[in-house]
Amino acid sequence: MEDDHGVRRSVEELRQTFKSGKTRGVDWRKSQLRAILRLIEENKDNFYKLLQSELGKHPVESYRDEIGIVKKSVDLALSCIDQWMSPKKGWLPLLFLPASRKLLSEPLGVVLIIGSWNFPISLILDPLIGAISAGNTVVLKPSELAPNCSSFLAKLLPVYLDSKAIKVIEGGREVSNQLLEYKWDKIFFTGSVKVGKVVMAAAAKHLTPVTLELGGKCPAIFDSLPNADIKVATKRVASGKWGACCGQACIGVDYMLVEQKIATTLIEELKKTIKTFYGDDVRNLKNMSKIINKFHFDRLRNLLEDPAVANCIVYGGSFDEKNLIIEPTILLDPPLNAEIMNEEIFGPLLPIITLDDIKESIEFINSKSKPLALYAFTKNENFKKQILTETSSGSVTFNDTMIQFACDDLPFGGVGQSGFGRYHGKYSFDAFSHEKAVLERSFYFELEPRHPPWNNFKLEFLRLAYNYDYVGLVLLLLGLKKPLSS
């Protein structure tokens, strides 16, 4: 943890590095990206151990959601960065010829990236890849709730990356507030809505652009399906709910909506899948992460200890306080005014809400804040269209969960309360770039009217140009067409 003087000195050094132009060259950008690859490859075993001790993540989960995500992002950036940096040329209206236009991507400057504890490696390094690709200097602020991962990154990154352009600053809320007092050229934040509001308020003082990757209550609509498809769908729901950091994921399934007539079938299939994937004893669960700390453990336990909610438990509900483990838990029709149905759960508790008609799910979803992700298991094409046109969410995934996060050709980001701004792949490069419009005209071909008055000629020329009347323009310039009177 640095004092205020140390933070100020670090930020000033980053500004001087950026002003020097060092980070603008493609060679510097590629060298830093290759260094991230080496960092991951040479330290992956250490990352596995850290993620296991801090969050209880199995190495398979750590590779899928952390190490593999970062490696994939670096590989894509290295293969595409020349293309991303190239000026984009385009068409110009006849009105401006002879001239040329292009869009030039330039780095924003000195950026601040604030990471989250649930994916303490990927949610720091993945945005960093975009910031480096775009040519910025960067301050990384890892989450203090995953202190071992934070400390490891703080020690490791200066060994591999340019320490005059990329710095890690550790600390808790006090350090975060201190950092937010500075003027940045971009702030990228991943975390809760509550803290996101603090970040945005601080950024507004300096008119700093922000990307907020927040969360919300992500629903899963479960339509009537053949038995074989129900089995596949429940496996994907179980993976998306409990397989990614024990439900502590912003795009994890928060609750499910299903017709009353198939609720029993769905619940029975989920029970079987849970036992197969994770086991049925809270003391011996396999392949599941733990709750990050005692505070969040107690928060989740309090959600379940509401008597009206406890009566709705149809599976699970056991706790291992010593090891911060909560068993996968299914609830059927908890009260809609209960806290569990009005706050993001961020844990292994899954409410299932029954409806008379599955199409009522659209009204139910629209009654709440816009989610970061919406999942729907259905074969009904008309229902799919209705979901797409009548709901709003950061993303929609049909017949699976969470896989959209790993697709670099799709932007990842929220809408409304679930955040704004987007990244992944080329979108990460764009998130940390300014696309500057450049238009260059020649000194040749200056218009001269053949028929006065001059203002009438200009007015007619503009009218014809804006209407793409090229024949009329030629006739006007040749003096064969008279301008309209003003």
Residues recognised as catalytic: 213, 250
Distance CA 162, CA 349 (A): 43
For residues 247 and 346, the answer to whether their CB atoms sit within 8 Å is yes
Distance CA 285, CA 190 (A): 29
Distance CA 431, CA 423 (A): 6
Distance CA 317, CA 307 (A): 13
CA torsion 118-120-123-127 (nearest 10°) is 160
